[in-house]
Structure 1
Amino acid sequence: MPEAVKKPRPEFRNIGIAQLGGYRLPLAGKVSILHRLSGGLMFLLLPFALYLFEQSLTSEISFASLKAFFGHVIVKLIVLVLAWAFTFHFFAGLRFLLADTHRFVNKEGGRNTATVVLVASTLVTIVIALKLFGVF
């Protein structure tokens, strides 16, 4: 009886920096990376946010100057990025809490919850942008 020919198992090696451009990450993986980035961004800007909060409570004059500072378009864009980071991190955190309870941990569930996170955070950020720029 002829012996079956065994194919060599494929080798999966670590990805190099040069290969990152061609690597396709699934949507759930992108959401995971963005969750970490948004959390890091909020963590790094926490002292600045606390300083601004302290300035808003110091006196009426410091509140008025802070209000004028937030009237600039560049500052509004920075606040909008922080709002996106917060909303994205919030919805992605809910997604990971669901995963911790063993819900939606299959491939399709991961893709669906990642889509919900992206859509929900985008919609909430758009509403915040409309309010921030005075549309309503």
Structure 2
Amino acid sequence: MAEAVKQARPEFRNIGIAQISRYRLPWAGKVSILHRVSGAMMFLLLPFVLYLFEQSVTSELSFAKFSALLSNGFIKVVILALIWGYLHHFCAGIRFLLLDVHVGVTKPASAKSAVTVLVVSLLLTLIFGLKLFGLF
């Protein structure tokens, strides 16, 4: 008697290379990608961090070498990138732990927490960067 109205199912297609620039990733997706990037960056720069640590604690002469190395502007930028990577990874990790225990899993709450992670990590990086460059 009554025919079931067929609703058109949404069609999901893989996006091509040409469409990547127009694809709008949600904030939660951007934070997730940055979490992976920051983790990979910290892992890949671990030998550099260990070298800096070794130079800072071996002797007074190596500490002077460490201080001279840190006066280089490029090295300061690398250190600032490491600071951002750590702070973003830490803040996003807390967000993901909260999501694992089902806190903030709704779409609006997830977007809000993702933006909060970005803002907090960038503000903390700014504070540490000002201290690193001697402006604070």
TM-score of the superposed pair, with normalisation by structure 2:
0.92
Match of 2:66? 66
CA separation in 1, counterparts of 2:87 and 2:8?
A: 47
1:7-66 C-alpha deviation (Å, 9 max, x unpaired): 542320222222211110111110111011001100111122112211222221111011
Contact 2:55–2:65 (CA under 8 A) maintained in structure 1: no
Q: Does 1:6 align with 2:6?
A: yes
Name the SS for the 2:45 alignment partner. helix
Match of 2:111? 111
Q: Structure 1 unaligned segments of length 5 or more: list them.
A: none
Match of 1:133? 133
Match of 1:124? 124
CA separation in 1, counterparts of 2:9 and 2:115?
A: 34
| Greater shift in the superposed pair: 99-108 or 49-58 | 49-58
CA separation in 2, counterparts of 1:115 and 1:59?
A: 43
Query: Matched residues, percent identical?
Result: 60
CA separation in 2, counterparts of 1:113 and 1:2?
A: 46
Match of 2:31? 31
Name the SS for the 2:6 alignment partner. coil
CA separation in 1, counterparts of 2:8 and 2:106?
A: 29
Contact 2:38–2:86 (CA under 8 A) maintained in structure 1: yes
| Greater shift in the superposed pair: 4-13 or 69-78 | 4-13
TM-score of the superposed pair, with normalisation by structure 1:
0.92
List 4+ stretches of structure 1 deviating above 6 A: none
Name the SS for the 1:24 alignment partner. coil
Q: Structure 2 unaligned segments of length 5 or more: list them.
A: none
